[in-house]
Amino acid sequence: MQILAVSGSLRAGSYNTSLLRAATEAAPDGVEVELFEPAAIADLPLYDQDLDGGEVPASVEFLREAWGSADAIIFATPEYNGSVPGGLKNAIDWASRPRLEAALTNKTVAVVSASTGQFGGMWAQADLRKILGIAGARVVGDELPVTRAQERFDHEGRLVDAELFERLRLLLETVAAEAIPTAVAA
Ligand SMILES: Cc1cc2nc3c(=O)[nH]c(=O)nc-3n(C[C@H](O)[C@H](O)[C@H](O)COP(=O)(O)O)c2cc1C
């Protein structure tokens, strides 16, 4: 079972990306968590229905193939002005079309968020759950907002919070239990 880990932050020192790196180590037996390169989100053009007819841009093709072939996806989002970063929303818009065969249709997904504030990006996380559900994904697992993220990682971006590591592991277990492997779904 392969779970793709998608960060909504493009920043090199991102806490959300660091959280997903920790998730690659927290994966239960039989589960492989693979980090989706954040640059692939930056490469996407802004969603334009006129570009979404026949042949789509290569960056869109890459996104749809990578997200579509994953058995499940875990998203980690920052909160920008009370919601998800525009780049992540744009990627989800691309991955939500064409509707019936979209990369996100029936995809099992989980959502976490990390912010330097005391609410852990809970608004962004709630919005992301809503957006993914409308886009056709199956959102599973408990909410996991990581507050005061700067205190939970060392200078190399390694997670130093054992309880948070355990919560990540439990979430990945839930995702793995709920996921419908793409080989079966096809
Ligand atoms: C444009 C912008 C808007 C932000 N708005 C919020 C916000 O509404 N709520 C919040 O908790 N943090 C907010 N922050 C702080 C981010 O949560 C913080 O920078 C976080 O570390 C970003 O995630 P990252 O480390 O994965 O890049 C904002 C940061 C930026 C750059």
pLDDT in the model for residue 182: 76
Rounded distance from Cα 112 to ligand 1 centre (Å): 14
The whole-model pTM stands at 0.97
- Determine the Cα–Cα distance for residues 61 and 174; give it in Å rounded to an integer: 29
pLDDT in the model for residue 181: 78
Q: Is the pLDDT of residue 61 over 80?
A: yes
Share of the chain above pLDDT 70, in %: 98
Share of the chain above pLDDT 90, in %: 94
Structure-block tokens of residue 168:
């990540």
Average pLDDT over residues 108-117: 98
pLDDT in the model for residue 130: 98
Instruction: List C-alpha distances in Å: 81 to 85, 117, 121, 182.
Output: 9, 12, 10, 35
pLDDT in the model for residue 185: 67
**Of 102, 70, 64, which Cα lies nearest the Cα of 1?**
70
Q: Is the pLDDT of residue 144 over 80?
A: yes
pLDDT band of 54, cuts 50, 70, 90? confident
Please report the atom of ligand 1 found closest to the CA of residue 7.
Answer: 26
Question: 98 by DSSP, 3-state: which?
Answer: coil
**Of 60, 141, 57, which Cα lies nearest the Cα of 96?**
60
Instruction: List C-alpha distances in Å: 51 to 56, 63, 99, 176.
Output: 6, 15, 15, 34
Average pLDDT over residues 63-75: 98
**Phi and psi at residue 133, in whole multiples of 5°?**
-65, -45
Structure-block tokens of residue 69:
């072939």
Q: Is the pLDDT of residue 186 over 70?
A: no
Rounded distance from Cα 53 to ligand 1 centre (Å): 35
Mean pLDDT estimate for the chain: 96
- Name every protein residue with a CB atom under 6 angstroms from any ligand 1 atom: 9, 11, 14-16, 78-82, 114-117, 119, 121, 149
Q: Residue 102, CB half-sphere, CA atoms under 13 Å: how many?
A: 20
Pocket perturbation via mutation, ligand 1, pick of 10, 11, 41, 116 by most ligand atoms within 8 A of CB: 116
51, 57 contact by CB (below 8 A):
yes
Q: Is the pLDDT of residue 98 over 70?
A: yes
Average pLDDT over residues 73-101: 97
3-13 pLDDT, tens digit per residue, is: 999 999 999 99
Number of H helices, E strands in the chain: 7, 6
Would you tell me how many other CB atoms lie within 10 Å of the CB of residue 99? 10
Please report the atom of ligand 1 found closest to the CA of residue 120.
Answer: 11
Would you tell me how many other CB atoms lie within 10 Å of the CB of residue 13? 10
Rounded distance from Cα 170 to ligand 1 centre (Å): 26
The partner residues of 109 in beta bridges, in order of sequence, read 73, 139
